[in-house]
Every structure is written in structure tokens, then in C-alpha cells.
């Protein structure tokens, strides 16, 4: 049974988020802290004017932005020091037909197109390149259908993750992928990077929940991929191919997502404080060895804890080194036993003050601290964000190497992690305007990537390759696999129109 009309869903998709009033969403990094790329020759003024006139005719003048402030604002995402250019124009589309028109016009003019959601990415994947139009999908923000019986929703790419979760919750349903940026990132952006989040250790990542897509290809043609049935294996998995392709193969204009029942989960949190980051890593490895699959398992080190508490005053402890935070959601006695198991593992690995939280307000407060860690750290200076993933057994060693890198490069590295699946986010902080510290931060960034690969890991767990991880990806995949990627790209976008230079 379908229970929402498009008009009703628009209202639902604009529901307020749960972000606290005192903790505003992080702003994009100011342009002064990022490094523009070397300028390429611009199109002739007459050609640009003709393209702009065609775009205005297709979309209306108020949705084709040309003023310098808008061009600067839309020229980059939130990745520190990833190169970018000012675009020729910013186009804010409202429909699949408008996206198709933009791509047809761009292809005919030889102009590249960079798709963009909310601009909250951390890899430079939405950064503008020379002679491009930035195609913003932020106005395509409707939840167009919720089918309760079949448990799916159809959403436009500009819908905020948290707004989708709120909309389906009204019908007893749940959309599990929950990146820490869920209050500000869009479903389209989540699809582009195959975003994960706090729940993904148990419930999986975005690709596990995308059933179907409407995609506009580089030549402006529109294709429907996937299905709405519970299962189906017809043809290649083109939906899986598009999810995580970072806007390089097509522009997603509609997403059909699989939903789970909201009922049936009984949350408990287990909190443990550890004398060191590596000791917390030992507990993570022990949880994995024990065969325990928590609903979440998150690390925050003391730098993160202090930054969050200084900002929003959640009453977090100030005298601990590392917090390890687990959540289990089995019901009844099974949940009690699992929580007790987790607590025992924490204590055996050196955790102190291990305690069980069952009050929803206490659980929300602790996980709010995890979600606010990145914007809290941004207040200390520009943050170069890592996103690596190693085998769970290698988490302690990787954390040890991160600390060694911080010491050798003489930089501050704060650590947060989706530790339950080995996805670590070392956050390298450099003071504003300190070029020497910036160079050391980049040195540390590269060393962390190299250590990750040495331990059998991958250079990105959920943020995408974008621009920042291109060298690491080449080292990880090798020439033959990269050639396979290029073959796919050439087949779908032979002119290189879509988000060129990104992802591989």
C-alpha cells in the first residue's frame, strides 16, 4: 500500500532534523584553506554566453547562478586542500527532464558537468573543474512514495538522509544507512559515495539498500535501473555499479530504497573507557574474535571528546583517554546477554568504568557526541579527513601506526572510527595559515594511506575517492583493474563529460 503522495512527501522530507540548536551543521571549508587547481583555458566568451542562454531557456534564470559569490560557494565540497576551479555556471535542477536538458546542452557545447548534492563530501568529489557546469540537485528534495506493504521508498537525490528516516518512521519503517553527517548529507550524495555510517557494522551500507535508480547518462538519455521486488537477478548489477561511482557514470535523479521494520529493536549501549587508543583497538579486535556483531561500535579519543564537550557541553568525561561505545539492539534476554558479553570483552581488554546504558536519552547523548566530533574539531582549525578501512584484527596496529605518524610528522591527529568494521577516520588538524603544518599534515595523510594498504586495507571505506585518494587508489588497484574502470567509463561517458578526473 502506497501511503504518501508527492505533495505529502515533500512536507515529510522537510521535517526538522535532530541536530541540537547549539550544534549547527558544519559549514563548508572556506576557500582560503583550499588550494585552487592550475587554471585551464576557458571557453570563448561567446560560447559561454550561448550555453548560459540555453540553460536559462531550459530552467529559468533564477536557477542558473552566475554571480561570483555563488560560483565560489558551489566550487568545492568540505575536503581540505583538494583542488578546485570556479565553474562557468551553477545550475539548480528540479526534475529529471531538467537534468537531461542540462547534460544534452553540456555535451553539445563540450562542457563538463560536476554533479553536486549538499557539498558535505570530504574527498573533493564535488569540486568544480575547469570549463564545467556544477549541476546541483539540492532542490530535488521530495520523498515521492512510501510503500508500507513492500517496504520501500522512492526519493529524489536532494532528500536529506535524516529527513528520509523521519518520513518513513511515521509509517513504522526504518532506513538503516546513517552516516555521521545524516543531518546534512543527501541521499544522492550517499549513493554517490556508497556511504556507510554508525549502523553499518550490522546493517550494511547504502548499496545494500538501493533497489533501483533513475539515471541520466552523459548524453542526456534517461534509464531506469533495478527493481522494486524483494529479489531479482536479471542482467548485470548496474544499480550496484552506479552506487559509489561518484557521479562519473551518470546523474542519479531518483532512488528506490529498501526499508526495514522500525519495531523489533531494543537498544542498549555499553560504554567503556580505555587508557589508550591501542587498548581500545584491542577490544575491537576481541569483539570480532568473539563473533559478536553489535549494532554499532564507535571510538572517540580524548581530543574528540574534549572538542565536543567544549562546544556543546554534553557532560562528557575530561580525564579519559579513549571512549569505546557499543550498541546492541536484540530484544529481551538475547539483548541482555549480548550486552553483558560486550561489557566482559571491554573489561578483559583493559576497559575501566564499563557500564550499560538503557535510557534512550543517555544513549542518544553518547551517540550525539560521536556525530558531532567532526564539526567540533573543525572549530580547532582546518581538518584533513582520512577514511581508511582495515581488517578488524588489524585495528590495534593501525591505530598504533597512526599515533606514530602523528609524532613523526609533528601534527595533531584526532581519532574517530566506525571501529566495528575497521573503518577509521584519523582527523589531521593544522592551524589556519600555517603552511609548514599543512605540508606535514599532507605527509601524515600519505603515510596513513600507505600503512593502511600495508595492513591489507582499502583507501576509502565510505567517503569516496574524489580527488584526495587518487594516488592511494592507484596503489591499491593496480594498472589492470584501473583499465577495467576506464573501460566502463569510456562505454558510458566516451566524451568524459561527467565529473572528470574524479574517483580513478
Give residues with Cβ within 8 angstroms of 20, minimum separation 6.
312, 368
Which CATH number is 162's domain given? 3.30.465.10
**Cell reading at 48:** 559561454
Does one domain contain both 447 and 398? yes
Do 356 and 415 have their domain in common? yes
Structure confidence at residue 25 as a pLDDT band (50, 70, 90): very low
Q: Tens digits of per-residue pLDDT, 35-88?
A: 444 344 467 788 889 999 999 999 989 999 999 999 999 999 999 889 999 999
Q: In the structure, what pLDDT confidence band is assigned to residue 3 with cuts at 50, 70 and 90?
A: low
Neighbouring C-beta atoms of residue 122, cutoff 10 Å: 27
Measuring CA to CA, how many Å separate 459 from each of 301, 394, 448, 454? 22, 14, 9, 11
Indicate whether 12 pLDDT > 60.
Answer: no
Least confident of 27-41, 260-274, 307-321, 329-343: 27-41
Q: Which residues pair with 114 in a beta bridge?
A: 134
Whether pLDDT at 261 is above 60: yes
Could you give the number of structural domains in the chain? 3
Domain assignment of residue 460, yes or no: no
Q: Are residues 317 and 207 in the same domain?
A: no
How much is the pTM? 0.90
Q: Give the mean pLDDT of 170-192.
A: 96
Domain boundary among 108, 136, 164: 136
Residue 156 has pLDDT above 90, yes or no: yes
Amino acid 348: pLDDT? 96
Please compute the mean of the pLDDT values over residues 409-427 and round it to a whole number.
96
Do 426 and 306 share a structural domain?
yes
Q: What is the CATH number of the domain that holds 105?
A: 3.30.43.10
Q: What is the pLDDT of residues 394-403, one digit of tens each?
A: 999 999 999 9
Q: Please check whether residue 73 lies inside any domain of the structure.
A: yes
Based on the domain organization, do 214 and 76 belong to the same domain?
A: no
Q: Among candidates 302, 314, 432, 297, which has minimal Cα distance to 372?
A: 314
CA–CA separation, 482 and 504 (whole Å):
7
Look up the domain containing 226 and give its range: 143-261
236 and 374 co-located in one domain:
no
Q: Is 279 inside a domain boundary? A: yes
The predicted structure's pLDDT at residue 1 = 55
Task: Judge if 440 and 291 occupy the same domain.
Answer: yes
Residue 113 and residue 128 in contact, taking contact as beta carbons nearer than 8 Å: no
Taking residues 216-222, what's their average pLDDT? 98
* pLDDT above 90 as % of the chain: 83
Phi first, then psi: what are they for 324, rounded to 5°?
-115, 125
Measured distance CA(337)–CA(332) in Å, rounded: 9
331-336 contact pairs (CB < 8 A, 24+) = 331/264, 331/265, 331/266, 332/266, 335/266, 335/268, 336/268
Q: What is the pLDDT of residue 14?
A: 35
Locate the DSSP E strands across 198-247: 210-216, 222-226
Q: Domain check: are 282 and 402 in the same one?
A: yes
299-312 residue pLDDT tens: 999 999 999 999 99
Q: Tell me if 112 sits within 8 A of 497, measured CB to CB.
A: yes
The predicted-structure confidence for 357-377, as pLDDT tens digits, reads as follows 888 888 888 888 899 999 999
Amino acid at each position: 500500500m502506497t501511503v504518501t503522495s508527492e505533495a505529502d512527501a515533500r512536507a515529510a522530507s522537510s521535517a526538522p532534523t535532530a541536530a541540537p540548536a547549539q550544534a549547527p551543521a558544519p559549514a563548508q571549508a572556506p576557500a582560503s584553506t583550499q588550494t585552487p587547481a592550475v587554471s585551464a583555458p576557458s571557453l570563448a566568451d561567446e560560447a559561454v554566453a550561448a550555453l548560459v542562454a540555453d540553460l536559462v531557456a531550459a530552467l529559468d534564470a533564477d536557477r542558473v547562478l552566475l554571480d561570483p559569490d555563488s560560483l565560489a560557494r558551489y566550487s568545492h565540497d568540505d575536503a581540505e586542500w583538494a583542488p578546485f576551479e570556479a565553474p562557468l555556471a551553477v545550475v539548480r535542477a528540479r526534475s529529471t527532464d531538467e537534468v537531461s536538458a542540462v547534460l544534452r546542452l553540456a555535451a553539445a557545447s563540450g562542457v563538463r558537468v560536476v554533479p553536486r548534492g549538499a557539498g558535505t563530501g570530504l574527498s573533493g568529489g564535488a569540486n568544480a573543474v575547469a570549463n564545467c557546469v556544477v549541476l546541483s540537485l539540492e532542490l530535488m528534495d521530495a520523498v515521492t512514495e512510501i510503500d508500507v506493504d513492500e517496504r520501500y521508498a522512492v526519493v529524489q537525490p536532494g532528500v536529506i538522509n535524516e529527513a528520509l528516516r523521519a518520513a518513513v518512521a511515521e509509517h513504522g519503517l526504518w532506513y538503516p544507512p546513517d552516516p555521521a553527517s545524516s543531518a546534512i548529507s543527501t541521499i544522492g550524495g550517499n549513493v554517490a559515495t556508497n556511504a556507510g555510517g554508525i549502523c553499518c557494522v550490522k546493517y550494511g551500507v547504502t548499496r545494500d539498500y538501493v533497489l533501483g535508480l533513475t539515471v541520466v547518462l552523459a548524453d542526456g538519455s534517461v534509464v531506469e535501473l533495478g527493481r522494486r521486488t524483494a529479489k531479482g537477478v536479471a542482467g548485470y548489477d548496474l544499480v550496484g555499479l552506479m552506487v559509489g561511482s561518484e557521479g562519473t557514470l551518470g546523474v542519479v535523479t531518483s532512488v528506490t530504497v529498501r526499508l526495514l521494520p522500525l519495531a523489533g529493536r531494543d537498544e542498549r549501549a555499553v560504554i567503556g573507557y580505555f587508557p589508550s587508543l591501542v587498548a581500545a583497538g584491542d577490544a575491537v579486535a576481541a569483539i570480532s574474535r568473539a563473533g559478536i556483531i553489535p549494532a554499532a561500535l564507535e571510538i572517540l579519543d580524548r581530543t574528540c571528546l574534549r572538542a565536543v564537550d567544549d562546544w556543546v557541553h554534553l557532560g562528557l568525561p575530561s580525564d579519559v583517554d579513549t571512549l569505546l561505545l557499543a550498541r546492541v539492539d536484540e530484544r529481551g534476554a538475547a539483548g541482555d546477554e549480548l550486552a553483558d558479553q560486550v561489557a566482559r570483552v571491554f573489561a578483559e581488554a583493559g576497559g575501566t568504568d564499563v557500564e550499560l546504558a538503557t535510557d534512550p536519552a543517555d544513549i542518544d547523548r553518547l551517540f550525539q557526541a560521536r556525530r558531532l566530533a567532526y564539526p567540533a574539531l573543525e572549530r580547532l582549525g582546518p581538518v584533513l579527513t582520512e577514511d581508511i578501512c582495515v581488517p578488524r584484527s588489524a585495528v590495534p596496529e593501525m591505530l598504533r601506526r597512526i599515533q606514530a605518524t602523528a609524532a613523526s610528522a609533528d601534527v595533531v591527529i584526532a581519532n574517530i572510527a566506525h571501529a566495528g568494521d575497521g573503518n577509521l577516520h584519523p582527523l589531521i588538524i593544522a592551524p589556519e595559515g600555517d603552511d609548514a603544518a599543512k605540508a606535514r599534515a599532507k605527509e601524515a595523510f600519505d603515510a596513513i594511506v600507505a600503512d593502511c594498504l600495508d595492513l591489507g586495507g582499502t583507501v576509502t571505506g565510505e567517503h569516496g575517492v574524489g580527488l584526495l585518494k587518487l594516488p592511494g587508489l592507484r596503489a591499491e588497484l593496480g594498472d589492470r583493474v584501473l583499465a577495467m574502470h576506464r573501460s566502463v567509463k569510456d562505454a558510458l561517458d566516451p566524451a568524459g563529460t561527467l565529473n572528470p578526473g574524479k574517483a580513478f
